[in-house]
Amino acid sequence: MTNTAIITGASRGLGLALARVLAGAGWNLVLTARGARDLERAADELGATAIPGDVTDPAHVRRLAEAAPELDLLVNNASDLGVTPLPPLAIYPLEAFRTLLETNVTAPLALVQATLPALRASRGAIVNITSDAATGAYEGWGGYGATKAALEQLSNVLSAEEPELRVWWADPGEMNTRMLADAVGAEEAAAAADPAKVAAALHDLVASRPASGKVSLQ
């Protein structure tokens, strides 16, 4: 039997690296990201279904759920860094923070809600990608970190409410991605882990299906 996964933020970074690992293992993939050109290039490479769009759009969430009526894995990887350079909380623009909550918290919950019937049927799994910024007091990371803390607690409660599923909230550690480069600069980001290495750890997690909970991928 072939497994099916939805991966958000799949056009680059960890999302694309995970898509490559899962495609290599024979998974059917429904991939989404905002950048249509990069997403379609990835889908062509992997023989996957590309549905470009914004995960904060309810109509787009419905399209993703309808594209995978049989679903084994939802990976909420898409997220937004917020304002850059990273501002202290004292001057964090509140409208930007509301937008950040919409992308990093509300949208993953909307996708969970839309796909739960299929995931319950398969006793599937949910991976919500978080960050050490969810618990670490890093200057400038308060906006982003607060959204990831919310996503962690959302995952924690979901794991209690859906005991037939596996729900993991996974900290990938620092990776050499465009998002990290936007936050700390390209030179520092280049010293971080290769997303492909983290994706391999994430695949091992999905394959071994440990109990629901918080996991570190590095």
Active site residues: 144
Maximum distance among all alpha carbons in the chain? 53
- In angstroms, the CA 170 to CA 193 distance is 15
Q: Which two tokens stand for residue 70?
A: 């049989």
Single-letter amino acid, residue 210: P
- In angstroms, the CA 54 to CA 38 distance is 14
Whether 31 contacts 50, CB under 8 Å: yes
- In angstroms, the CA 150 to CA 39 distance is 28
Residues linked to residue 213 through DSSP beta bridges, in sequence order: 168
| H/E stretch holding 20 | helix 13-24
Instruction: Output the CA torsion 200→203→207→210 (10° steps).
Output: 100
